[in-house]
Amino acid sequence: GNSWDLDFHTYDETLIWLNNIVNSHPTISSLINFGSSFEGRQMLGIRLGLNSAAPKFFFDGGIHAREWLSPATVEYIVNQLVDGHDRGDPEIISLLQNVEFHVLPIFNVDGFEYTWNTDRLWRKTRSFNQGSTCVGTDPNRNADAGFGGPGTSRNPCSDTYHGAAPFSEIEVANVAAYVVNQTNIHGYNNIHTNAQLLLSPYGYTNQLPADLADHNQIHNASAAAIRSVFGADYEFGPIYSTIYPAAGGINDYLYDQGVKYAVAWELRGGSFSPPASFIVTSGEEIFEGFKVFSKFIAAEF
């Protein structure tokens, strides 16, 4: 493993880490600037691949500020892809030739910073709400996918507050616009902790998506690969029936915009603040599932 993966890292450290990778690997990577957050922080990500004509797969971590294992696991995956390339691992080289990865390690940058300096269990964004002293919107209830529907709150003080309007949160609008403006993008994974589930559309309705059978197939294969590492059981299925109704999810929005495999994975954890030793454990098992998921995309598109 990489020494980066032995600890959780701040927003500032993560910017340096991204810049270091791109500076030392200009042929396989470049920076992605998704725009600025509500408080003016840069939302910085990385593109990784050897073939810009390959189907694209976007994944992000840290949409919920307190879910620190999520950015850490996303960063573990990036390190595995970079290190695998550097040592000439044929499986990783082939992956980088057949899929182009677009990655945003920390989605909710303002909330994440707030968990480091003020409130470890903060979840939402840090935007202001008119007529309320409560701060923040749940970015995972804010997309234009059944907005305001089941599993959302209209109370700005709630942790599942849907926000004033679809895409009122600049961070959610930035990510949605970025993905929608890509061509040939077929995978999107919005990575959370800690329910240990592989979730697929929909969260806003109990109606089943047209691609349910393919979603179940890719997740069944991913879950088997994850299980092969430490025996952990990750169940899978539509958000609505597998965890609970939750409208306004960005994965649902992107699915309805045509991204066929627009999913949300819930990592292991048991809490929102597991010890740093969980990073390598989570990373090792999730990377196996992630490779299987990526290979399905490479094979189909």
Catalytic residues: 266
Q: Give me 290's structure tokens.
A: 């992630």
The DSSP call for residue 35 is E
Query: How many Å apart are CA 160 and CA 195, to the nearest integer?
Result: 17
Nearer of residues 66 and 85 to ligand 0X9, judged by Cβ: 66
CB of 170 to ligand 0X9, least distance (A): 19
Q: Which of 54, 198, 239, 267 binds ligand 0X9 (CB under 6 A)?
A: 239
CB count in 10 Å sphere of residue 6: 12
Cβ burial 235-255 (10 Å sphere, 16+ → b, else e): ebbbbbebbebbbbbbbbbbb
Residue in the block written with tokens 């968990």: 115
Residue 153: DSSP 8-state = B
Interaction partner, residue 186 (ligand 0X9, Zn ion, none; CB < 5-8 Å by kind): none
**Which residues ranging from 111 to 150 are in contact with ligand 0X9 (CB under 6 A)?**
140
239 binds, among Zn ion, ligand 0X9, none (CB under 5 to 8 A by kind): ligand 0X9
**Stretch touching Zn ion by CB under 5 A, among 179-187, 192-200, 237-245, 247-255:** 192-200
Q: What tokens does 173 get?
A: 């609008």
Q: By CB under 6 A, which span of 164-172, 216-224, 241-249, 286-294 interacts with ligand 0X9?
A: 241-249
DSSP-derived 3-state class of residue 134 = coil
Q: What span, in angstroms and rounded, lies between the C-alpha atoms of 286 and 265?
A: 10
Enter the tokens of residue 241.
């029936």
Verify binding: residue 172, ligand 0X9, rule CB under 6 A: no
Choice from 73, 80, 115, 190 touching ligand 0X9 (CB under 6 A) = 190
Of 46 and 267, which has the nearer Cβ to Zn ion?
267
Name the site residues for ligand 0X9 (rule: CB under 6 A): 64, 67, 140, 190, 192, 195, 199, 203, 239, 243, 246, 249, 251-252, 264, 266
